[in-house]
Structure 1
Amino acid sequence: MPVVLIDWADTLHLERRHDGQLHRHDLGPALPPDDLCLRAARSLQQASGTTLGADISILKQVPWGAGMGGGSSDAATTLLGLNKLWGLNWPRARLQTLAAQLGADVPFFVGGRNAFVEGIGDILTPMPVPTQRFAVIKPPQAIATAAIFSSPLVTRNTKPAIVAGSLADTVCERNQQQSFEGLLGGFGRNDLQAAAEALCPEVTQARQWLAQRFGNSRMTGSGSAVFARVEETGTGGQPVATELEGTLPEGWVGRMCHSLLEHPLVGWAS
């Protein structure tokens, strides 16, 4: 599946400790006691044998239960940051091996570049993506990933989209030459979307809300967030609104986002 980095992100502060302890500090809403960041830090500490610890402060901005990979991104940032802070100098491939033990999305964020992702998240084919603008919205209800994958509506053993030879380049070329609506209609699908919409009708409402305004929409990951590619101009050449605040139904959150060419910390591992 194609996975693209965007500029809606959490903020992490890492500070080295010399007593070997790991502490997390919530700068916003309280996080689960043993979230992915602490697990990532503990895994790297144990695997490296370092005697150093860290204070990890997190300002959560990506909504929970959105299917946007916020927790996985934070775990990857923790691995990249502590690798540098502790002076480990692990290569990216070694960090990605550890990342795969934490979750299927973590290796992608450690990789640091837009990619076509296969397997259990451990096979990454770099996929350059032209700068895009997206409207991303999330209704109030979150969806448990376990509930999605246990649903009978999830397509099992779906025919894989295989990246062989120039297929990844072909996907990228189509993204450059067509509207994102055309790409969505012509390449792939989200096999989790039907299950998510059955469990959470708000996903359908959000998808329809975006489609009415921007002409396209699709669920991201396991939901409940949905996104649409936003053109610079709409029908008749009129500028498209750049803000979502004040237009969303009560309780929904969303923002206009831009794609990133690479993760801000991509240079922190080789």
Structure 2
Amino acid sequence: MTMDAGWTAWPAPAKLNLFLHITGRRPDGYHALQTVFRLLDWGDEVRIRVRDDGVIRRVGASVPGVAETDDLAIRAANALQRASNTSLGADISVEKRIPAGGGFGGGSSDAATVLLALDRLWNLHLGVDRLAALGLALGADVPVFVRGDNAWAEGVGEILTPIALPPAWYVLVDPGIHVPTAALFQIPELTRDSPATTMRDFVSGAVLGNAFEPVLRRREPALQAVFAALAQIGTPRLTGTGSGCFVEFADRGSAGKALDRLREGMPHLSAWLAAGAQASPMRDALDR
């Protein structure tokens, strides 16, 4: 999608974790996970303008309170520049729609979109495998956005197997509670030894739940209140390690009616609709 004055715009979709189990701790100290990533047809927009002087610069504050040196989109551009030895640079601006800290993958998705877009704009052609490896060094969720498929995930979330998911619509809620991921993993009552499950079990509907949900609900009364409200319209779930919640519906009409009911009871709640995607919208953007 082309914009004025040399800028191009690229989608950075949000994601949901349809379940999230911790199955143990790896020798490197990281936790072993199992999850399913569902990409959404909604998210941020990353805008890029190529520079000839090698400078990589953020234009505007993408996330309030996040320094440019900590911005995953900028870090992704710097990592790609180093890996490719290109002399080119970029101006990068992100229109944030995905709430920070909610578990919807905004920062990771922005980083993946920067990697994919600059690989194209800088004419590098490094390939998805190389870009996913660069993304993994930035964060465990970046590779799924680089590869662009709904996926069954293991390891720290980087061992990905594409999975076909039925069409769905979601009522999404951001309770606005932010607990650092590292702190969550240190909570003593967190279940870290869930039995390993299989993709077949998930597809059959036997696997649900998020290891962080009971911990956060006990610690955060506001999140408990949101879950109680969502339970009036369906089965609420937590996504990722944030406080973002969702309820799944088969079609837009059902989701829209449920959202209306939710807002009647909690009019000030940050809630909205999004459709599940069969593949990342970024893939379509690159194919144009």
TM-score with structure 1 setting the length: 0.84
| Same amino acid, percent of matched pairs | 35
Letter of the 1:2 counterpart: V
Query: Does the C-alpha gap of structure 1 residues 231 and 147 become closer, same or farther in structure 2, counting only changes over 3 Å?
Result: same
Give 1:69's aligned residue.
Answer: 105
Q: Which structure: greater strand fraction?
A: 2
Give 2:13's aligned residue.
Answer: none
Give 1:96's aligned residue.
Answer: 132
Give 1:115's aligned residue.
Answer: 151
Give 1:158's aligned residue.
Answer: 194
The answer to whether the aligner puts 1:221 opposite 2:240 as a matched pair is yes
Give 2:283's aligned residue.
Answer: 266
Unaligned runs of 5+ in 1: 175-182
Unaligned runs of 5+ in 2: 1-34
Shift in Å, 1:150: 1.1
Letter of the 2:270 counterpart: V
Letter of the 2:247 counterpart: A
CA contact (8 A) 1:161 1:188 kept: no
What is the CA–CA distance in structure 2 between the aligned matches of 1:55 and 1:137, rounded to whole Å?
32
1:148 partner SS: helix
The answer to whether the aligner puts 1:86 opposite 2:108 as a matched pair is no
Could you list the runs of 4 or more consecutive aligned residues of structure 1 that deviate by over 4 angstroms after TM superposition?
231-234, 241-246
Give 1:209's aligned residue.
Answer: 229
2:178 partner SS: coil
The answer to whether the aligner puts 1:46 opposite 2:46 as a matched pair is no
Shift in Å, 1:7: 2.4
Query: Does the C-alpha gap of structure 1 residues 251 and 148 become closer, same or farther in structure 2, counting only changes over 3 Å?
Result: farther
How many positions carry a matched residue from both structures?
248
TM-score with structure 2 setting the length: 0.79
Give 1:22's aligned residue.
Answer: 56
Output one character per residue of 1:216-267: Cα deviation in whole Å (capped at 9) or x when no partner.
1111111211100124476xxxx83455795463653121111001112226
Q: Return the match for 1:126 from 162, 168, 190.
A: 162
Query: Does the C-alpha gap of structure 1 residues 135 and 53 become closer, same or farther in structure 2, counting only changes over 3 Å?
Result: same
2:140 partner SS: coil
Query: Does the C-alpha gap of structure 1 residues 171 and 52 become closer, same or farther in structure 2, counting only changes over 3 Å?
Result: same
Give 1:178's aligned residue.
Answer: none
CA root-mean-square deviation? 2.3
Letter of the 1:78 counterpart: V
Q: Return the match for 2:274 from 236, 257, 260.
A: 257
Shift in Å, 1:143: 2.1
CA contact (8 A) 1:9 1:70 kept: yes
Give 2:178's aligned residue.
Answer: 142
Letter of the 2:248 counterpart: R
What is the CA–CA distance in structure 1 between the aligned matches of 2:79 and 2:192, rounded to whole Å?
32
Query: Does the C-alpha gap of structure 1 residues 162 and 37 become closer, same or farther in structure 2, counting only changes over 3 Å?
Result: same
Output one character per residue of 1:20-45: Cα deviation in whole Å (capped at 9) or x when no partner.
11111236653511211111111111
